[in-house]
C-alpha cells in the first residue's frame, strides 16, 4: 500500500528543500513554512509581543492570518477601516 503525501507534507518538503523555515505557528501550533508567510487580503501576518522591541514581529500561519489574528504593530490588533 502506497501512502499519498498530504498538502502539508508537500509544503514541508518545499520549505526544507528551498531553505525556508518550517516552524509551528505561535498562536495555533500548526507548522508552516516561510514560503507561506504573507499578508492575506490586507490582514497582517505577524504578531508583536515584545514591548522592548516594538518593531520585532513573529510570523503566524496562513490560517491565523486569514482569521485576522495578526497585529499591525505592538499591541494593536488588526481592524479593517
Is the pLDDT at 78 greater than 70? The verdict is: no
Is the pLDDT at 50 greater than 70? The verdict is: yes
Domain-located, residue 69: yes
Q: What is the pLDDT of residues 2-47, one digit of tens each?
A: 688 899 999 999 999 999 999 999 999 999 999 998 988 888 899 9
Give the C-alpha separation, 10 to 79, whole Å.
33
Q: Please name which of 31, 39, 34 lies closest in space to residue 14, comparing C-alpha atoms.
A: 34
Give the C-alpha separation, 44 to 51, whole Å.
18
Domain-located, residue 7: no
- Rounded average pLDDT over 55-64: 88
- Which range marks the domain in which residue 52 is found? 44-73
Give the C-alpha separation, 63 to 45, whole Å.
10
Domain-located, residue 29: no
Give the C-alpha separation, 61 to 29, whole Å.
9
- Domain total for the chain? 1
Q: How far apart are the first and last CA of the chain?
A: 52
Amino acid at each position: 500500500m502506497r501512502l499519498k503525501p498530504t498538502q502539508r507534507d508537500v509544503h514541508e518538503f518545499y520549505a526544507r528543500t528551498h531553505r525556508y523555515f518550517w516552524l509551528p505557528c505561535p498562536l495555533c501550533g500548526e507548522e508552516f513554512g516561510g514560503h507561506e508567510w504573507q499578508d492575506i487580503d490586507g490582514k497582517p501576518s505577524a504578531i508583536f509581543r515584545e514591548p522592548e522591541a516594538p518593531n520585532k514581529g513573529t510570523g503566524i500561519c496562513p490560517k491565523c492570518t486569514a482569521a485576522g489574528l495578526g497585529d499591525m504593530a505592538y499591541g494593536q490588533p488588526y481592524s479593517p477601516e
